[in-house]
Amino acid sequence: MDTSIKTALKKAKRKQLLKTIIISIIVVLILLPILYKTGNYFASKSSSRLHDQLFLYHAIAQPNIRIDSQVTSHSSMFGGNMITNRSKNINGYLVPWSTLTSSYSWFRVDIDHNELTPGFYSSDTDFYEYDKQTKNKVATFYHPSIQDYYDGIQNELSEISQMENHVAEVALSFNQPYTLKEIQAKIPDNLNIAWLYMTSPIVDESNGPAGMPVYGFDPSDSPKEAYNSFIEALEKYDAKGNNETIQTFLNENKNKPFDEVKILGIMLTGQTENFKALENQELIRGASVGAVAQVVPYIKPEK
């Protein structure tokens, strides 16, 4: 082949290669912002969805646990983590609770169920559930329709009422469902009703904790309004109707006036000596102590 032809072909190939490179660079420069914007859009939507789901779950299934702050961490256009800092209010004393590290991507959110589920300690002399990070004891509710629990049904009122200079939370489980009015008539005014236990799955608990959620809400200053918000939250949380426990509760109670709705238990907070008045109450099937804090001179208990 003639040398001039070879040279011309080489120049044409170089020119074509250069053209291809320039076009590729232009395409990349155009696509990168689109990809970045699209990635951030989907990541932001997942982040918002995870944020809402965490608050929603705490509103219906985390007894006396509050979210103090919730921020994103290690976020990028592809996803990131969400850090949820939590605590308990024990009669005016804030007790730290486990921090959740949940994650999200473009089309998926993963709540940190590992930390939501309590650990349990067992020995020859004792058995109890505990928060995995703080190691504080977790108060247990007992469903009136479940007869056999692994460690029996505990009543720790006498033990907690003997403690001096402390505040505590105690989960009271009733021998049968009661209305709030019936419950309030039996609860001393010097104790706070911090949470109402409304329902939970009926499962076999005889071989150890099944790790089932309990559903309820903080009655706050207006129990009727709080109950309506609870019903709305349950419907939103189980919008597809897959949770049998929630759907059964909604079918039985959604259209009832709150005064007629029956409650399975309550979470109380207060100074430990004030729990003594409850020791001989017939409606109490079980009483499980949760977090406890020592009273200090510079923080006054709410009651």
The predicted-structure confidence for 100-118, as pLDDT tens digits, reads as follows 999 998 888 999 999 999 9
Higher model confidence: residue 122 or residue 269? 269
Neighbours of 107 (CB within 10 A): 9
Region 137-163: mean pLDDT is 94
Distance CA(222)–CA(196), nearest Å, equals 13
Please state the domain extents for the chain: 118-294
Return the beta strands (E) in 20-141 as ranges: 66-76, 79-90, 93-105, 109-110, 119-122, 127-130
Distance CA(8)–CA(188), nearest Å, equals 100
Q: Which of 88-97, 107-116, 200-209 has the highest mean predicted lDDT (pLDDT)?
A: 88-97
Output the pLDDT for position 54: 96
Q: Does 177 score more than 90 pLDDT?
A: yes
Q: Does 207 score more than 70 pLDDT?
A: yes
Output the pLDDT for position 151: 87
pLDDT band at residue 285, thresholds of 50, 70 and 90? very high
What's the helix, strand, coil split of the chain in %, to 5? 35, 30, 35
Q: Does 301 score more than 90 pLDDT?
A: yes
Output the pLDDT for position 32: 67
pLDDT band at residue 39, thresholds of 50, 70 and 90? low
How is residue 170 written in tokens? 């105690």
Sequence-distant (6+) residues with CB within 8 A of 208 are 120, 150
pLDDT band at residue 13, thresholds of 50, 70 and 90? confident
Region 200-219: mean pLDDT is 92
Region 113-134: mean pLDDT is 91
Distance CA(5)–CA(85), nearest Å, equals 74
The predicted-structure confidence for 212-246, as pLDDT tens digits, reads as follows 999 999 998 899 999 999 999 999 999 999 999 99
Output the pLDDT for position 12: 63
Q: Does 10 score more than 70 pLDDT?
A: no
Q: With residue 268 as reference, give the H or E element that holds it.
A: strand 263-271
Sequence-distant (6+) residues with CB within 8 A of 240 are none
Q: Does 153 score more than 90 pLDDT?
A: yes
